[in-house]
A and B are shown apart, each in its own frame.
Chain A
Amino acid sequence: MLAKRIIPCLDIKDGMTVKGVKFVELKTVGDPVELAAAYAQQGADELVFLDITATHEGRKTFVDLVHRIARHINIPFTVGGGISELSDAEALLNAGADKISINSAAVRNPQLINDLSRHFGSQFVVVAIDAKQEEGAGDWTVTVNGGRIFTEKKLFSWAKEAEDRGAGEILFTSMDHDGVKQGFANEALARLSEELNIPIIASGGAGNMEHFRDAFVQGKADAALAASVFHYNEISVPLLKEYLSEQGIPVR
């Protein structure tokens, strides 16, 4: 049976993990490769690395880092942040990334999804969508720049468009739930999962193990992503897997 995936997400700046990570006794504080290897060993199903570096120098450092990650871990990993054209994606593919995630660049230029999937295959293209729920209404507005800028796009129609343009997966982050640790946006997730035929990754809101169960059962998500609960060792991947398995959810 296909397992539900658990995906730790690492924010990277200038080639290092951003937050002080209490996760394990690491030899080098902030070394993404060592942290990634530790997560892989713990049973993480995939990893996501988001480059939040703004400078050109930092971008080069990130590509070098992707190269090192690919040499040291052998589970799939996605990289995102700052990808706005084919050549950015190609550099990351050549460095060994299994998938890339695009967010605001796809909102600005939807054709990028078509171009990337045609060149590298749909399985390579994750479209990340940050959205906020509208007051009183059921619909969600797509945002960019970390939820600060509202766009004309709506979550469900944009996700469907991304699928039609060749996205291989949708990574949906609810900006209302992100960082609050009160659970994922399960209603919206379930609607995405029902309306689309590509996998949906839930993001934003993980605070305890029940939240992951709810994202899979109520939210019908194919995978769930979280950062701080893993980095601060509030939830360990092996214990989470054990819990989900007891709840009848297929995990590796």
Chain B
Amino acid sequence: MAQPEIVIIKYNAGNIRSVNNALIQLGYRAEITADPEKISRADKVIFPGVGEASTTMAFLKEKGMDTLIQGLTQPVLGVCLGMQLMGSHSEEGSVDCLGIFDAPIRKFVLPRPNPDNLKIPHMGWNQISDLKSDLFDQSMEGAYVYFVHSYYAALGPHTAAGTNYFLSFSAALQKDNFFATQFHPEKSGPVGLRILKRFIEL
């Protein structure tokens, strides 16, 4: 089978190389690019990201990348901040996002009192459950994946996987051709690689 054309959207976000490293481990080749032509005609588009929501949304708008991403018809995978930017509105910098998912992005507020000494960010390995997407197979129910975030997508109509950290929230979202994970599949060991592989093979 011919190699699928995979692009990773390049923008002002940190550590987008790790997704590419994981794809290389899977035997795929991806191009990291901001070129609208290449993004539009790729077979698969990955929208990664680590950073702050409002400044990143401003950057995407300035470059016209907001409408570009909204208009994509091939499978798109948002990761971490990428996922949150595909939500409706983020409390981080109080900004309207791409509105692809009907999912508001909220800030974690620790319970008071906090007898379990919970911390923010939600950092480390947590379990995914109630899997409802082709990103997952049923053997992944309860699997541990790696999260690092201080804002979360509430549960809603597009929740494709849930997780729990003193409250339940979306670990993954899906609507039509748009897929997204709050966790980092590229940092989630063998399970994460399988999720990425399933996305590429969609």
Interface residues of A (CB under 8 A from B): 1-5, 40, 45, 70-72, 74-76, 93-94, 96, 98, 120-124, 168-169, 193-194, 196-200, 220, 222-223, 252
Binary CB contact string for chain B from 22 to 57 against chain A (1 if under 8 A, 0 otherwise) = 101100000000000000000000000011100000
- The B interface is mostly helix, strand or loop, or mixed, namely mixed
Complex: A72 Cα to B52 Cα, angstroms: 28
Complex: A66 Cα to B18 Cα, angstroms: 12
Q: Closest approach, in angstroms, between the C-beta of B152 and any C-beta of chain A?
A: 13
Binary CB contact string for chain B from 1 to 29 against chain A (1 if under 8 A, 0 otherwise) = 00000000000001101100110110000
Is residue B156 contacting chain A, with contact meaning CB distance below 8 A? no
Is residue B65 contacting chain A, with contact meaning CB distance below 8 A? no
Is residue B148 contacting chain A, with contact meaning CB distance below 8 A? yes
Contact pick for B17, options A70, A74, A123, A124, CB 8 Å: A70
Q: Closest approach, in angstroms, between the C-beta of A92 and any C-beta of chain B?
A: 11
Q: Closest approach, in angstroms, between the C-beta of A129 and any C-beta of chain B?
A: 17
Contact A98 to B187, CB < 8 A, known contacts A75-B146, A121-B14? yes
Interface residues of B (CB under 8 A from A): 14-15, 17-18, 21-22, 24-25, 50-52, 110, 117, 119-127, 144, 146, 148, 164-165, 184, 186-189, 192-193
Complex: A16 Cα to B187 Cα, angstroms: 24
Contact A74 to B22, CB < 8 A, known contacts A3-B124, A93-B14, A252-B125? yes
Complex: A252 Cα to B165 Cα, angstroms: 15
Instruction: Determine if B124 and A120 form an interchain contact, defined as CB atoms under 8 angstroms apart.
Output: no
Instruction: Determine if B50 and A123 form an interchain contact, defined as CB atoms under 8 angstroms apart.
Output: yes
Instruction: Determine if A2 and B21 form an interchain contact, defined as CB atoms under 8 angstroms apart.
Output: no
Contact A96 to B119, CB < 8 A, known contacts A1-B126, A3-B125? no
Instruction: Determine if B187 and A76 form an interchain contact, defined as CB atoms under 8 angstroms apart.
Output: yes
- What 3 A-B pairs have minimum CB-CB distances, sorted nearest first? A252-B144, A3-B125, A252-B125
